[in-house]
Structure 1
Amino acid sequence: MAKENKGPWHAKMVRIVSIWTIAIHLPWAIALALALVRWLGLLSYGVAMGAVLLAYALLEPLVFYPLPDKPRPAWRVDALERPYFVHVASVHVSAVGWLFNILNLQWKIDLWLGPFVAYFMALWVFGWGSFVTSRRLRIRHLTLSVYGLPAAFEGYRIAHISDIHLGGFTPPSQVANWLERVRAVPVDLTVITGDVVTSGVQFHESIASLLGTLRSPDGVFFVPGNHDYFGNGMPLFELLERHRVRVLRNEQVLLTRNDAPLLIAGMDDVWTGRGDLAVTLSQRHDRCTILLAHDPIVFDDAARLGVSLMLSGHTHGGQLALPGLARHVNLTKRANRYSLGVYRNGRSTLVVSGGLGCTGLPIRVGVPPEVGVITLVCARCTDAPSA
């Protein structure tokens, strides 16, 4: 097994999460104190704050024990860790209850009621999102018109997998079930756009062997994501190659059908400063090009350089989104211009996958795990993507 490399990000993350976890519980603690004040008087505030600090001291190992990610019993994950993160997410929503109180003071309701109503409603939504939605795979079929696509590649089918994040919250058994469904769909090419693990090195062998079960006539290609480097990325890439998964790091592969070319270009991760778009596309020579890049942030530059189709992930569609309107209302929309779905820029098309696994909170609401099955057609045949 490769050596673990935590790096400075680990200590920094521990500090940030510790401070934020305590801070976000303060409104919840005040609501608890207000609920107890009629019995304990001012002592209720001390009791509430003490309860928050004690709970954090007892539960803190649940947050930081798996950093970097490591195997742990399923009972621990489902009985302790998932409920903890569902609680933390719900506490964030309980702060909205204070707004309800401010707007309804004229009704003279108990001030603690709003935060607790919001908390328990969120507890149900996030609990379902963690224990149910995050495990239900959706195979999303798309037909995309691609400018410059050679006629020989009309009807070409690509399976697009992204952001598996195999680890404690997305165990090998879950990933195996998902990939079994993917293998049942006939495609010409399978691509994986990064973040196959969350952090560390202890799941490298598992994910490499699982991805090694994928087979496509034109191969299985992988480009790294930022989380693949949160530990020690190189041993992972060597394992993937050993299992017949081609790793592309600022490289290209030329596919041909009846002497017609289709260039597959794979870009390394830009978040960690390893991606180089110019090098990745250096052999394009006006060929129809499909760019694989974990982060969709480079789409505008790729479009300017003539890329016909770009496949990305990274955003998870926010993980938390408004059901039915996930593309437009999701947690990452403001931070990522291209957050989920299909986008156009001139003659270039971008597909951003919602991904499979989770990071941060092990919760998905409105954005179920997905694998895309993309059918390519010449732009002269149709001019708009359809789901």
Structure 2
Amino acid sequence: MRLFIFLFIVILLEVYSFQLVRTLSRGHWWKWIYLAVSVLAIINVILQFTWLNPDRSQFSTVRDFSVTFMLALLALKSVFILFMLGEDIYRLIEGVINSLSRKREPDQTFFQGRRDFIAKVGLAVAALPFGAILYGAWRGKYDYQVREYELSFDDLPEAFDGYKITQLSDIHVGSFDDKEEVKYAVDLANKQQSDLILFTGDLVNNVATEMEGWEAIFGSLTAPDGVYSVLGNHDYGDYAQWESKEAKAANMQQLYKIQKDMGWRLLLDENEKITRGSDSINIVGVQNWGGGRFPKYGDLEKASAGLTNEEFKILLSHDPTHWDLQVKGDDRKYHLTLSGHTHGMQFGIEIPGFIKLSPAWFVYKKWAGVYKEANQFLNVNRGFGFLGYSGRAGIWPEITVITLKKNLS
């Protein structure tokens, strides 16, 4: 159903944009070149995900280029259409007002001149997202950013004042095409010299075999108190075709083993205590629990078994919608929840302290960065990897470093 809705929207855009191009071309032949490129781009993407390249779990140069080019075209057309639609609406209102006031309308030369000017401005502005998407696929997807936050708590145990945590999320290893760039990012994460590394799900796109050849790189992640992880919605193999239930279950066991062999402690609705002398904090890991159409495997009650309301807790929960729907209202009080999942849609505009915009805003209330409510914090990591669109533009891949501080005021 989602595919049909997407195709319907794309077709509407194509019909309207072609009418605009046909009008602006004034009978020139290049409008047919435009139409051919647009139609072939759409057909190619459909074929890349069906007949030509049905296995979506592994990287494919042709498929990723096809998706990137179509998204760049859609971005260009969408911005251009907004300009021209505004001109059409303005012209309609202007015509109605002139008709009601019996005022003589300007001749068509005036309208055509204004329309040509707006079209040129629209194309110039539309070239920005078009170029950004292409750049994001070329360089942006490996432009790793370290984001640092200092979070203060009244009831943080004293021994953990200054405790550093590195959070990674949404690796999506099957999408990568450059091991050196990924190794650089893993080394960058280790250079933060955090006390603990926490991974909040989506290690793979669909199947455990994507990790073949990557175990040594991600197994090199190290911290004094270890590496803890949870599962994301993609880790369960729900988006792949399986010969049997047994094959899917075997894939799940293989992913468990891979994480264990890398030295990661995978928390499956479990919690573990980290101690410093007589003080301690608790790492709580819940399986994926998502709002809307996403699966709800997690059991927060089970994950928190044995913990009191007063103990300091850090919750790993892949999907940030879990925080609003269950976590922040729980009496146990989860001081800090770490999530990912949204990727920030891998596209947007961010200027720290000034602006943070992304299409993710239309889908998620909390889609990137730190949020605070009821003396509890949520951090939504923008993701380490990428999926679908093989790039990042404006919303860069992220390594989060959080320092816990005791509030002394």
TM-score (normalizing by structure 2): 0.79
Corresponding position of 2:359 = 331
Query: Do the aligned partners of residues 97 and 118 (structure 1) sit closer, same or farther apart at CA in structure 2, a change above 3 Å counting?
Result: farther
Q: Which residue of 1 aligns with 2:104?
A: none
Residue 242 (structure 1) aligned with residue 242 (structure 2): no
Where does residue 288 of structure 1 map in the other structure? 312
Q: Secondary structure in 1 aligned to 2:235?
A: helix
Does the alignment pair 1:30 with 2:30? no
2:162 to 152, 155, 160: 155
Secondary structure class of the residue paired with 1:167: helix
Within 5 A, what are the aligned runs for 1:347-358?
A: 347-358=375-386
Distance 1:61 1:171 in 2: 25
Q: Which amino acid aligns with 1:205?
A: E
Q: 1:34 to 1:188 in 2, by over 3 A?
A: same
Are residue 270 (structure 1) and residue 289 (structure 2) matched?
Answer: yes
TM-superposition CA deviations, 1:138-182 (whole Å, max 9, x none): 111111113422111111111100112222356444322210111
1:334–1:122 distance in 2 versus 1, CA, 3 Å? closer
Classify 1:30/1:115 alpha carbon distance in 2 versus 1 (closer, same or farther; 3 Å): farther
Question: 1:1-387 counterparts in 2 under 5 A?
Answer: 15=4, 17-39=6-28, 52-64=38-50, 65=53, 67-72=55-60, 76=62, 82-102=68-88, 105=91, 106=111, 107-110=113-116, 113=120, 116-168=123-175, 171-229=178-236, 230-231=239-240, 232=248, 234=252, 235-271=254-290, 272-285=295-308, 286-300=310-324, 301-305=326-330, 306-324=333-351, 328-380=356-408
- Provide the secondary structure at the position in 1 that maps to 2:174: coil
Mark the structure with the bigger radius of gyration: 2
Question: CA separation in 1, counterparts of 2:19 and 2:200?
Answer: 44
For structure 1, the residue ranges without an aligned partner over 5 or more in a row are 1-11, 382-387
Name the count of aligned residue pairs.
365
1:322-380 Cα offsets, whole Å, 9 max, x none, are 33168743211232121111111222111111112223323433321111111111133
Identical-pair percentage: 25
For 2:81, the aligned partner's letter is: A
Write the distance in 2 (CA, Å) between the matches of 1:268 and 1:328. 29
Q: How far apart are 1:214 and its partner, in Å? A: 0.7
| Structure 2 unaligned residues grouped into runs of 5+ | 92-110, 241-247
Cα pair distance change 1:26/1:227, threshold 3 Å:
farther
Q: CA–CA distance in 2 between the matches of 1:274 and 1:171?
A: 33
Distance verdict in 2 for CA 1:93–1:63, change over 3 Å: farther
CA distance in 1, matches of 2:176, 2:71: 11
* Cα deviation, residue 48, structure 1: 6.1
Cα separation, 2, equivalents of 1:51 and 1:185: 46
The amino acid across from 1:267 in the alignment is V
Whole-Å Cα distance in 2 between the matches of residues 47 and 154 of structure 1?
63
Q: What is the DSSP-based 3-state SS (H/G/I as helix, E as strand, rest coil) of the residue aligned with 2:328?
A: helix
CA RMSD of aligned residues (A): 3.0
